[in-house]
Structure 1
């Protein structure tokens, strides 16, 4: 079995996608809101539907290499069992969601068919 790739700070910018379901919606919303307050990060919509390649409901957090070393440990400590998909932003969507894909928690299937 392949080891889960932990986030590494090697890109200029990142997305973190917090995955949740109906039972964890409010916790995830609060987690993303707090991340936006504590860090220089842009918080996207809380999607209660599947969006893009994501096979679970999600909320996107966009941040730079400058806050990576602070926000990643904070997300790990505060995710309370939620899975968070972290990937670099290189301009190559397929590589970003595969080669530059990292996980906090259990990996979730990504639908690469549209990339």
Structure 2
């Protein structure tokens, strides 16, 4: 069983036509006390993410609610825990909402050095 206080991220993906829906969802997340951090909308590729996205930080206990909000919009998202293994977090430990996006896993932190953990709840890319 997952620790309910374990850190999680969701990466919300959007294309230019979906940007208004993504922005509205971002605003909704900003009013939700279960959400610890909402990152800036990044209208370009960044890190392993090849298309526009933003990240949302929350605890494992909020995962079902966060996933339901995302799914209701029809947007694509990658939801994953934050462990010390960035590659596993973005692949084998992750789940997709909607159609997956092919990530550039070559830029992820090496096992044991997940810099996302240090940013949890306070910073994005």
TM-score, length-scaled by structure 1: 0.83
CA RMSD in angstroms comes to 1.6
Q: Deviations over 1:27-54 (max 9, x none)?
A: 1011112022124211001001111100
Match of 1:61 in 2: 56
- Structure 1 runs of 4+ off > 2 angstroms? none
**1:105 to partner: Cα distance:** 0.4
Q: Which stretch of the first structure deviates more once superposed, 64-73 or 13-22?
A: 64-73
* Structure richer in strand, relative to its length: 1
- Report the Cα distance in structure 2 between the residues aligned to 1:17 and 1:65, rounded to whole angstroms: 15
Count of matched residue pairs? 105
Gaps of 5+ in 1: 1-8
User: Relative contact order: is structure 1 or structure 2 higher (C-alpha 8 Å, sep ≥ 6)?
Assistant: 1
Contact 1:39–1:71 under 8 Å retained in 2 = no
- 1:19–1:58: 8 Å Cα contact kept in structure 2? yes
Distance in 2 (alpha carbons) for counterparts of 1:55 and 1:40: 28
